[in-house]
Each structure stands twice: as C-alpha cells, then as structure tokens.
C-alpha cells in the first residue's frame, strides 16, 4: 500500500531546544520525537522559532543586492576557477548561469559559493577546496553580516543535531565531535525565470536539477517565491512543492544521515523549477561534518535495518570520511571555461 501523499511538510518548533530555560524537559523530548518522525517520513521539514528571524531579511536583501546590482566585471573578479588555475580551487567563487551542473545537465542559475576557510595557510596554485573565499565588495556590509549569520547558524546546527540525537534514542552529544569543526558551505543563488519550453517534459528546463545534499543538514532561506522548490515523495514518486513560510527555514537532511542511521533517515531528492516572472533569491547554508570526520553507523542504529523500507539504506558499511566524500562530489559540479 502506497503511503498517502502529504499535503505539506511538517513544521517543527525548535524553541524548546533554543531556549531550554523557558521550557520543560518534556517539551524538548516532544520536539525530538517530532524531528525523528519528520526525518523518517520526509527528510524535509520547516523549522520555526529558531532565533534568527531578526537577521534573515537582511541576508536575503544583501544577496539580492550582490546578484542584481553587481556589474558583470565585479562578478568576474570573484569567478570560480578550476583548482590550480588563476588562483582558483575548483569550489569557491562566483558561477555564471549554466556553469553549475547537476547530473550532467547545466542548471539555470548563478551563484556565489563560500566555504569554511581552510584550517592551514595555503599558497597558489591551490589544491581543491583549499583556496580563499571570494567575498564581494558590494554591498559593503556583505561580508561582516554574512560572517555573523554563519556563526549563528552553526550554533543553531549544533542545537538541532542535539535534539535529533535524542530523537534517535542516542546520547545528546552524539554528533558533537563530528561537527565540532564543521566544514560548512553557504551559497547565494539567483534564479532568473525559466523561459517557456515547447516540451511538455518537466525535466526540459531546470533551475537546479534533482539531487540530494552531500552532508549533514541544510538550512534553506529563500525569498517569498512560490512554486519553485520541489521535494520528491518517494513512496508515490510525486513531487510536492515546498513553498516558503515566513519566519521558517526549510531544513533537509543530507547523505551523511544515511550512514549514521543505517538508512533509517534517507536524504531526499529535491529540485528547483522556477517558471515565475520574478528573479528568485535563495541562500542555503550546509551545516556539515568536519573535513576529517569519520562517519560510521551509530551504535543504536546498527540493529535497526529491519525498520528501513525497501529501496532505502544504501549505506557504506566501512563508513565515510566526510572530506573525501565532499571532494568526490564537488569536483564534478562545474563546467568552467578554464577547467
């Protein structure tokens, strides 16, 4: 029997974990159970009362200013270049429309990608992912505001993972070591509207092709554009729309949870098809394990394979070193003029 198609993704109030002094332990436990249900059944959820509501409008505003007001020449100064070429590291910097590739097809968006700074000093030519971030000079407050936002999101990520650990029946500190030096990623993405396609195939014309996320947790912040982000409901094979809700992040789990939970939490395919008339702005933050963190099945999940539905649970029995996993993914993400 096919699971019923959900009308929307669950909304989870995280305030009990963000402000534990003003909540009971039972409310924290109830939140953890709600997270467990959302991760088992959807892999996606809305996160409310997270404490960053005062900052998110400014983050979107600055992203839009950079993407729509910067000249071509200003953007080209930040250009993402291949590792070892022109000061590039194959990951950090600005990509023009069509340079980002998903499953071999060019995506119809432009973006600026930022990563956790490499922990040791490096000099060009840079190895993959070991170069400096390319920060915009316009708008002037971009870097300062974003660095503050990234710091606060890492705190929220650690809090959310503690709540999720409890939901899994694991100790609250289960994920602390793996994410103590999170190799985070942040993208500022601009989506022009897709031009009408003569084909009836929804795959013919994609703003961002279907994919799962590589790491741990994604905190997605978008403008109020509706009808663009789509999440696959795997049991029915149907795409459901995940429209923005004011004050909420859209959160999804990444591939590392497949490993940690022995397939109990499966990362979910999603895509963007933006056919509206506006320029859509999106700022996803990827809260990831540390570069050298080894991801293995959690002790309490080793005996849970029987709970995993057929088709799930593609787990590497030998575990995963996150940095190696990330490198294998990122190096095929772009088609660049200079390689």
- The predicted-structure confidence for 62-71, as pLDDT tens digits, reads as follows 999 999 999 9
Tokens representing 272 are 């963007």
Sequence-ordered strand ranges (E) for the chain: 11-13, 44-48, 93-95, 101-102, 105-106, 110-115, 185-191, 208-211, 217-222, 229-233, 238-241, 249-253, 270-272, 280-287, 294-295, 320-321
Q: How far is CA 45 from the centre of its chain?
A: 13
Task: Tell me the pLDDT band of 35, cut-offs 50, 70 and 90.
Answer: very high
129-158 average pLDDT score: 98
With 50 as the cut, is the pLDDT of residue 310 above it?
no
pLDDT of residue 184: 98
Using alpha carbons, select from 98, 185, 188, 95 the residue that is nearest to residue 138. 188
With 90 as the cut, is the pLDDT of residue 15 above it?
yes
Compute the distance between CA of residue 207 and CA of residue 275 in angstroms, rounded to an integer. 9
Tokens representing 75 are 């953007």
Strand pairing class (217-222; 280-287)? antiparallel
SS (H, E, C) 6-58: CCCCCEEECHHHHCHHHCCHHHHHHHHHHHHHHHHHCCEEEEECCCCCCCHHH
CB-based burial, 25-49: b 16+ in 10 Å, e otherwise:
eeebeebbebbbebbbbbbbbbbbb
Half-sphere exposure of 51 (CA within 13 A, CB side): 17
Q: What is the CA radius of gyration of the chain?
A: 20
Residue with more model confidence, 60 or 338: 60
Tokens representing 132 are 């400096």
Task: Tell me the pLDDT band of 309, cut-offs 50, 70 and 90.
Answer: very low
pLDDT in tens, 48-102: 999 999 999 999 999 999 999 999 999 999 999 999 998 999 999 999 999 999 9
């Amino acid at each position: 029997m096919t699971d019923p198609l959900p009308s929307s993704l669950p909304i989870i109030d995280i305030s009990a974990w963000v402000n534990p002094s003003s909540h009971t332990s039972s409310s924290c436990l109830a939140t953890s159970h709600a997270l467990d249900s959302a991760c088992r059944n959807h892999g996606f959820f809305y996160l409310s009362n997270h404490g960053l509501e005062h900052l998110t409008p400014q983050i979107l505003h600055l992203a839009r200013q950079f993407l729509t007001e910067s000249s071509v020449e200003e953007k080209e100064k930040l250009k993402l270049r291949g590792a070892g070429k022109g000061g590039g590291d194959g990951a950090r910097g600005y990509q023009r429309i069509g340079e980002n590739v998903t499953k071999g097809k060019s995506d119809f968006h432009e973006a600026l990608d930022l990563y956790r700074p490499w922990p040791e000093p490096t000099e060009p030519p840079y190895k993959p992912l070991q170069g400096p971030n390319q920060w915009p000079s316009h708008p002037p407050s971009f870097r300062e505001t974003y660095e503050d936002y990234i710091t606060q999101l890492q705190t929220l990520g650690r809090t959310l993972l503690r709540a999720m650990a409890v939901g899994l029946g694991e100790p609250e500190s289960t994920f602390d070591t793996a994410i103590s030096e999170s190799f985070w990623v942040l993208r500022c993405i601009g989506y022009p509207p897709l031009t009408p396609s003569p084909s009836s195939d929804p795959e013919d014309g994609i703003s961002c092709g279907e994919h799962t996320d590589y790491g741990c947790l994604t905190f997605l912040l978008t403008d109020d554009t509706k009808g663009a982000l789509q999440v696959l409901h795997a049991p029915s094979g149907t795409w459901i729309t995940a429209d923005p809700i004011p004050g909420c992040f859209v959160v999804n789990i990444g591939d590392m949870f497949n490993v940690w939970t022995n397939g109990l939490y499966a990362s979910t395919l999603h895509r963007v098809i933006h056919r509206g008339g506006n320029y859509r702005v999106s700022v996803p933050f990827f809260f990831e394990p540390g570069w050298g963190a080894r991801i293995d099945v959690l002790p309490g999940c080793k005996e849970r394979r029987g709970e995993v539905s057929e088709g799930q649970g593609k787990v590497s029995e030998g575990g995963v070193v996150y940095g190696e996993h990330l490198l294998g993914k990122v190096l095929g993400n772009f088609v660049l003029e200079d390689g």
